[in-house]
Chains A and B, each alone.
Chain A
Amino acid sequence: MNGLRQRHPSLEFYARRSLRFVLSLLAMVIVSFAMIRVIPGNPVRAQLGITATEQEIRIRTRELGLNQSLLSQLWTYLGHLFTGHLGTSITLQEPVSNIIATRLPNTLEIASMAFLVTMVLSISAGLLLGAFTNGGRHPRTELSFTATTGLLVTIPEFVLAVLLQYVFGVKLGILPIAEKSGWTSYIMPVASLSIPPAAALSRLVRVETLNALGRDYMRTARSKRLPARLLYLRHVLPNVLTATLTLGGLLLVGLIAGTVLVETVFAWPGIGSTIVQAIEQKDYPLIQALVLLLGSMVLFVNFVVDILLGAIDPRSAIRTT
């Protein structure tokens, strides 16, 4: 390890991060496994209700494999995970893997669109406003920007979703109120998912731009009389990206959680709305799989952000091994 560190500090960084990712995935698997086993009382009884007979409970217990020893249960669970067998949903009477296969794309669609919109909107708005309001210029623009974004940051996505739904769906009737249909049905879910984080991120980008503009290296760059385009895109942008990406990763993770709320408002057929129903109906195989899925998505996003940060900011790779 020592020799490796001397020769390729960044390689060691990537190796460590990958190891951490794999370990945390494993932890996530165990957490999802343990989840329905630490439920106080009998989860099968809780699910089937008090009217169920002993016979029914015994059958369901055997179906879920809860009658075997914990270790052999874990072993079976791991084996099933690898073969993609995630059990059968009790309420929908359908293999969980099928449910995920049909619903996950819907969630990924709006989440990735929202993320894209967030990043593009906030980086361009933040950079522009940072350049525009540098050194206390245009105080009125600055005030209205901070006030507007401050307001938008505070509005939670589900309230925003309801508001949009009322204004554009009910009142104006120009966009479909709910459910997935043509491309217009994407507008409101994506907007309500992306506006609050975009507001937060553009504030950060502006502050970071101002920071970068005040740095010594910008003075050096300005002394070279470079055109503004180079000054901002080459010298400011990479230095703004580090903090932007760190927060961007957190927001993307928050976005995964946000889909749960927004999908519920717009009756969007994704996994977010599915998990809420599954919890209400105590559909344990489905919950288990979805918790594992959402958790892994969060871990994956964090992993990718770490790797990207290491690539953009060469110092962070050495600093944080």
Chain B
Amino acid sequence: MRRLRATVRTPTGFAGSAILLLVLFFVVAGPILWGPQAARINPLDILAGPSARHPLGTDELGRDILAEVFTASRLSLELSVLATLIGAAVGVPLGAVVAVLSPRPRRLIGTLINFTVSFPGLLLAIFLAVIVGVGSTGAVLAIGFGSAPGFARLSQTLASSVTEMDYLAAARLLGVSRTRLLFRHVLRNIGEPIILNVTMSVGGALLALSGLSFLGLGVQPPSYDWGRLLSDGLANIATNPLESLGPGAAIVITGIGFNLFGESLAQVLGQRVAPRRPGRKERRRLLAEPGARPAQPLPASPGSPAGRQPILRVEGLSVTFPRQRPASRPVRDVSFELAPGEIVGIAGESGSGKSLTALAIARLLPNGAEASAARLEFLGNDMFTWRGAEASRILGTKLPMVFQDPMTSLNPALHLGIQLTEASQVHQGTPRRQALERAAERLRAVRIDRPDERLCQYPHELSGGQRQRAVIAMGLMGEPRLIIADEPTTALDTTVQRQVLAIFRELSETTHSAMIMISHDVAVLGELCSRVLVMYGGLIMEDAPVGELAGARHPYARMLVEAVPDLGTARDRPLATIQGQPPSPAALPPGCPFAPRCPRALERCRLELPAATEVSPGHRVRCFNPLTFDETLVTLVEPATP
């Protein structure tokens, strides 16, 4: 009920429900109020045009057309509802039963449903019209049975998605009986979308039935529905167009009503998972927070060897979503430099801003996100102003990216050959043959066997590890200067992860390309990187040489290290844990974003944002109360209940 009210409150929902209420009024009151007038035959007023007495004119017996249209609402809607109910009554149980059948009959019925779903209802209607004779019975049966496969498929899909859920397995383990499972879990979860779909289908059934009546295969004289009125009027379209356009408008308006109502209802149902919107107060605070102002340029990170031009220079980088309500700032004031051949890791949990940082650097932010920075330079070029063919050529060949999921980061519809060679073909004008040769050679470099064959294969023909290596090979096509890898091994098994990491290490030695590796797993970064940046709430909390990471000074960075057991963790001691949730980028606290969860937080931490300060050469920490090197975090956290 609450949802219905929410639906009516949206503009489309309001329009839809208004139309449907109007239709309902005519269904109930139409035949009562206008029935007698519609039945009154007047031989003196045959086929009259529109007039004050007859706004839509009269038919060949002198009956008022508008009254007929109003009166016909009841029959038109009754038949549509009936047909829909027949379809739902046949289709929904069939589909729901299929979901709990054993595989063989399930496949058989599934095939049958898929097959019949594509068979137009009109053909079925013609068929039935021949057998049971022309009339509304045949038409209703035909539209009903015609829509049954659609309902069956819908409920089958929905029910099988529920039966795959773990909560159903859990309930079975608890000894819940089959019928209870069906009613308590399955039907409750598929009921809403099915009711929604059935409601929307009434509109479709109305159109189909009107079509049949229009053809003379539906409602027969002396009864009439909108479709028949329309076809009667068609004969006189030259003299009185309103006679056919009136019932036509009734059909269309009712159809639109059902569509609008259904669409907004679906939206309201779908929105229930959407996160809560922070209120106005929170929004104002966001705009007043320190990171929102232009960033003070920080001293450049001291990690890069002196005398060499850095590959990448980032100062005060922020990413905002200005059009989101409320506007959010998931990356704030990020500064670091990258020397040629250096491998820097970015560690952090989901929502820490690490991926957006990487995308901002590569100028690949999604639409709606905006980056700003005091300085963002790649190979000495300002990334905000650098445009044109030259920029595309260098960015497209020297700054490759590797993403987390190798199953989705290659285009499933294109051969590997095309995907590997297109950048060098476009940017460097390499002939196809030559580009393919180089691609094969690069595949060999990442230890993919039979490379020539692979180039003619689709991504799905490769295993996960092979795909990730193919993506890396793609990045090696032009001489890369900076490889950005976003969780490149997270989706892979341990042994495959090891292999991919080894390939990255090898590449760094052979190509001298710099790398940014992003991972939630500090240990993975420790294997590869010389320096690790730990991000939280969009900020770099700690920038430490990898050797000092085990003794990270920021409580959050230390937690990342100590929360995950390794082979040396003492088995009789609990792991370090931290209560609470990471902050939403749309509602960041005014002080240190970690303060609400921090066991070491001071009063000051909640009020102001600490600046990054150097604690030892090449080691920066953004904390007012950092840990000392040999304190452990776990002793500080008592197991508290929230």
Chain A: residues with CB nearer than 8 A to chain B? 24, 31, 35-36, 38-40, 134-137, 150-151, 153-156, 158-159, 162-163, 165-166, 170-171, 177, 214-217, 219-227, 230, 234-235, 238-239, 249-250, 253-254, 256-257, 260-261, 264-265, 275-276, 279-280, 284, 287, 291, 294-295, 298, 302, 312-315
Contacts and interface: CB of A to CB of B under 8 A. Distances in A.
Contacts of B292: none
B259 A150 contact: yes
B368 A136 contact: yes
Nearest to B241: A166
Given A135-B367, A162-B245, A154 B215 contact: no
A86 B594 CA distance: 82
Contacts of B134: 279-280
A276 B217 contact: yes
A226 B215 contact: no
7 contacts: A150-B256, A154-B252, A163-B245, A216-B405, A234-B414, A249-B118, A314-B458
Contacts of A31: 127
Nearest to B362: A223
A2 B120 CA distance: 36
Secondary structure call for the A interface: helix
Contact of A166 (B115, B245, B400): B245
Given A151-B256, A165-B237, A260-B122, A226 B410 contact: no
B459 to A, nearest CB: 8
Contacts of B423: 224-226
A254 B120 contact: yes
Nearest to B263: A150
Question: Which of A36, A40, A134, A155 has most B Cβ within 10 Å?
Answer: A155
B237 A36 contact: no
B458 A280 contact: no
Interface stretch (B51-59, B167-175, B203-211): B203-211
Contacts of B119: 253, 298
B367 A137 contact: yes
Nearest to B427: A225
A276 B458 contact: no
Given A249-B118, A315-B460, A287 B401 contact: no
Contacts of A230: 422, 426
Given A225-B396, A315-B460, 19 more contacts: A35-B131, A135-B366, A150-B259, A159-B248, A162-B245, A163-B248, A170-B238, A171-B241, A217-B412, A219-B364, A224-B422, A226-B396, A234-B414, A234-B418, A249-B118, A256-B120, A260-B122, A284-B130, A294-B126
A162 B249 CA distance: 11
Nearest to A259: B122
Contacts of B210: 156, 158-159
A162 B368 CA distance: 44
A253 to B, nearest CB: 6
Contacts of B215: 260-261, 264, 276
Contact of A257 (B120, B401, B418, B471): B120
A36 B130 contact: yes
B409 interface: yes
A238 B415 CA distance: 12
Contacts of B255: 154-156
Contacts of A38: 131
A226 B362 CA distance: 14
Query: What 6 pairs between A and B have smallest CB-CB spacing?
Result: A135-B367, A225-B396, A238-B413, A257-B122, A257-B120, A225-B392
B130 A279 contact: yes
Interface string B406-424: 0011111110001100110
Given A163-B248, A257-B120, A280-B134, A158 B214 contact: yes
A225 B401 CA distance: 12
B323 interface: yes
Question: Which of B216, B260, B412 has most A Cβ within 10 Å?
Answer: B412
Interface string B214-227: 11110000000000
A246 to B, nearest CB: 9
Nearest to B244: A162
B354 to A, nearest CB: 15
A291 B131 CA distance: 12
Nearest to A295: B123
Interface in B160-212: 203, 207, 210-211
A302 B409 contact: no
B26 interface: no
Contact of B123 (A163, A177, A279, A294): A294
Given A134-B367, A135-B366, A276-B215, A223 B399 contact: yes
Contact of B216 (A163, A276, A313): A276
Contacts of A249: 118
B550 interface: no
Nearest to A240: B413
Contacts of B400: 223-224
Contacts of B395: 225
A216 B408 contact: yes
A277 B509 CA distance: 81
B340 to A, nearest CB: 20
Contacts of A134: 367
Contacts of A159: 210, 230, 248, 251-252
Contact of B410 (A24, A150, A220): A220
B122 A154 contact: no
A138 to B, nearest CB: 11
A262 to B, nearest CB: 10
B145 interface: no
Interface in B99-117: 115
Contacts of B412: 217, 239, 313, 315
A220 B401 contact: yes
B403 interface: yes
A291 B367 contact: no
A214 B169 CA distance: 33
Given A162-B237, A257-B120, A217 B126 contact: no
Nearest to A155: B252
Contact of A221 (B207, B234, B411): B411
A24 B203 CA distance: 31
